[in-house]
Structure 1
Amino acid sequence: MRTTLIAEQLFDGKTLYENHPISIEDGKIIAFDTIKGAIENKVSGLLTAGFIDTQVNGGGGYLLNQDTNLHTLKAMTNAHAKFGTSSLLPTLITSDVNKIEQTANLISTALAQNTPGIIGVHFEGPHISEPKKGIHSSQQIRGISQQELDIYCRDDLGIKVVTLAPESVDCDIIKTLVASNVHVCLGHSNATFVQTQAALAAGASGFTHLFNAMSALESREPNMVGAALLDEQSWCGLILDGHHVHPSTAKLAYKVKAAHKMMLVTDSMSTIGSEQTHLQFDGHQISLTGDKLTSNTGQLAGSALNMITAVNNAVKMLNIPFIDALKMASLYPAQFLGIADSYGQLAVGSNADLTLLSSTHSSPHVVNTWISGRAIF
Structure 2
Amino acid sequence: MKAIVNGRILFDGQIIENKALLFEDKIIGIVDIQEMSQDVEIIDAKGHYVAPGFIDIHIHGYDTKDTMDGTEEAIRTIAKGIAQNGVTSFLPTTMTMSKEEIITALEVCRTVKAQGSEGSQVLGVHMEGPYINEAFKGAQNGKYIQEPNADAVQFVKDYQDIVKLITIAPEIEGANEFIKEISNNTGIALSMGHTKADFNQAMEGIEAGITHTTHLFNAMTPLHHRNPGVVGAALASEKVSCEMICDTIHVNKGLYPLVMKAKAPDKFVLVTDCMCAGGCKDGEYALGGQAVFVTEGSARLQDGTLAGSVLRLNEALRNVIEHTEYGVEKAIEFATINPAKTIKVDAFKGTLDTGKDADIIFFDDAVNIKYVINRGKTIHENN
Q: CA offset at residue 159 of structure 1?
A: 5.6
Show the counterpart of 1:90.
92
Structure 1 residue 323 displacement after superposition: 2.0
Code of the aligned partner of 1:130: E
Superposed, which structure 2 residues align to 1:171-250 within 5 Å?
171-178=176-183, 179-250=185-256
The answer to whether the aligner puts 1:330 opposite 2:336 as a matched pair is yes
Shift of 1:279: 0.4
Query: Could you say which residue in structure 2 is the equivalent of 1:30?
Result: 28
Q: TM-score, normalised by structure 2?
A: 0.92
For residues 353 and 335 of structure 1, the distance between their equivalents in structure 2, rounded to whole angstroms, comes to 16
Distance in 2 between the 1:87 and 1:218 partners? Answer: 36
Q: Equivalent of 2:124, from 120, 125, 130?
A: 120
How many Å separate the matches in 2 of 1:159 and 1:281? 20
Indicate if the aligned counterparts of 2:58 and 2:273 stay in contact, CA closer than 8 A. yes
Q: Unaligned stretches of 5+ in structure 1?
A: none
The ranges of structure 1 where at least 4 consecutive aligned residues each deviate by more than 4 angstroms after the TM superposition are none
- Partner of residue 302, structure 2: 296
Distance in 2 (CA, whole Å) between partners of 1:50 and 1:111 is 17
Match of 1:52 among 55, 68, 80: 55
Task: After TM superposition, give the deviation of residue 8 of structure 1 in Å.
Answer: 2.0
| Equivalent residue, structure 2, for 1:61 | 64
Query: Aligned with 1:32: secondary structure?
Result: strand
- State the shift of 1:100 in Å: 1.9
Q: Structure 1: how far apart are the matches of 2:304 and 2:97?
A: 22
1:149 aligns with 2:147: no
Q: Does 1:21 align with 2:20?
A: yes
**Percentage identity across aligned positions?**
27
Pairing 1:139–2:143 present: yes
Q: Is the 8 A contact 1:12 1:345 kept in 2?
A: yes
Whichever residue aligns with residue 233 of structure 2, its letter is: A
- Contact 2:160 2:186 (8 Å CA) reproduced: no
| Kept in 2: contact 1:60–1:79 (CA 8 A) | yes
Distance 1:154 1:35, change over 3 A: farther
Alpha-carbon deviation of 1:337?
1.8
Report how far residue 128 of structure 1 moved.
0.4
Amino acid at match of 2:22: S
Q: 1:121 to 1:13 in 2, by over 3 A?
A: farther
- Indicate the SS of the match to 1:270: coil
CA contact under 8 A between 1:13 and 1:344: conserved in structure 2?
no
Unaligned runs of 5+ in 2: none
Is the 2:275–2:287 contact (alpha carbons within 8 Å) kept by the matching residues of 1?
Answer: no
| 1:270 positional shift | 1.0
**Aligned in 2, Cα 1:161/1:130: closer, same or farther, shift over 3 Å?**
same
Q: Give the conservation status (yes or no) of the 8 Å contact 2:61–2:67.
A: yes
Match of 2:134 in 1: 130
TM-score between the two structures when normalised by the length of structure 1: 0.94
Pairwise CA distance, 1:15 = 2.3
2:350 corresponds to 1:339: no
Structure 1 residue 364, shift from structure 2 partner = 2.8
Which residue identity lines up with residue 28 of structure 2 in the other structure?
A: I
Judged with a 3 Å threshold, the aligned counterparts in structure 2 of structure 1 residues 239 and 47 are, in CA distance, closer, same or farther, namely same
3-state SS of paired residue (2:7): strand
149-158 or 239-248, larger mean C-alpha shift: 149-158
Q: What is the CA–CA distance in structure 2 between the aligned matches of 1:93 and 1:143, rounded to whole Å?
A: 15
Deviation at 1:276, TM superposition (A): 6.0
The answer on whether the counterparts of 1:61 and 1:276 sit within 8 Å (CA) in structure 2 is no
Q: Give distance in 1, aligned partners of 2:329 and 2:314.
A: 12
**Post-superposition offset of 1:103:** 1.9
